[in-house]
Amino acid sequence: MSSAGARSDAGPIPIFCRREPRVLQISQSERDAVYKAIFARRDVRGEFLPDPIPDEVLQRILTAAHHAPSVGFMQPWDFILVRDPAVKRRIKDGFETAHREAAALFEGDRRERYRQLKLEGILESPVGICITCDRARTGPVVIGRTANPEMDLYSSVCAVQNLWLAARAENLGVGWVSIVHREVLHEALGIPAQIVPVAYLCVGYVSVFHDRPELESAGWLPRLDLRTLIHHDVWGSGV
């Protein structure tokens, strides 16, 4: 088969991913587009539109996620696509429970401010995507995971980030629902006990992307000064 017709199990391979005997150079415009996606990415909660996501667009962002780096090339992720309103409702109910528990951990005015924040778009987004980690996928001994066994979980988080940036490049919004107990996802999505749910993502087109992260705009926390986070050679030797 010619390179023009090459395919993978995940669907058509984008032209820039096809293996050819040449050095792949990134042009300035391509570089700028990557940084634009990074700085324009937002955690979307309340701006989802009901418009369906075309299958080919969904396939592209899943292919991007599947090309994330993984320790030992174990590719521990799976992707559960959620469209059924009844399944979404169960996850939403789980969020509400965890949300109430979280509110009780804050005190005074901060508790009320927390309750007023919109922190998910489970029912509003047309598609939910649960990214999981199969920690036994390639056996008990994995290159690169021998000293730090949690590296497979970190690999799955890389898949989350790849999907998020690809979605932003497709003008799709993504919201990570972290305020939900794992057992809720296990039960609602039929996830086997040995599989770890890493992220439940709300995905869809949106009415607007905010200029700044919502928690920053709301004054919940400021963006830290990068200069205070850089160390040279040893901890505490920053600028």
Q: Residue 63 belongs to what domain range?
A: 42-208
Does residue 93 sit within a domain?
yes
Residue 22 lies in a domain: no
* Domain contains 69: yes
Q: Which residues touch 155 (CB under 8 Å, ≥6 apart)?
A: 68, 69, 70, 71, 74, 75, 76, 77, 133
223 in a structural domain = no
Residue 148 lies in a domain: yes
Assign residue 183 the CATH number of its domain.
3.40.109.10
Task: Give the pLDDT confidence of 129-167 residue by residue, as tens digits.
Answer: 999 999 999 999 999 999 999 999 999 999 999 999 999
In this structure, is residue 36 part of a structural domain? no
Label residue 41 by pLDDT band (50, 70, 90): very high
Q: How confident is the model at residue 15 (pLDDT cuts 50, 70, 90)?
A: low
The answer to whether residue 1 is domain-embedded is no
Quick one: pLDDT band at residue 22, thresholds 50, 70, 90?
confident
Enter the pTM of the model.
0.89
Give the count of domains, the chain.
1
Domain membership flag for residue 169: yes
Quote the tokens at residue 106: 């804050």
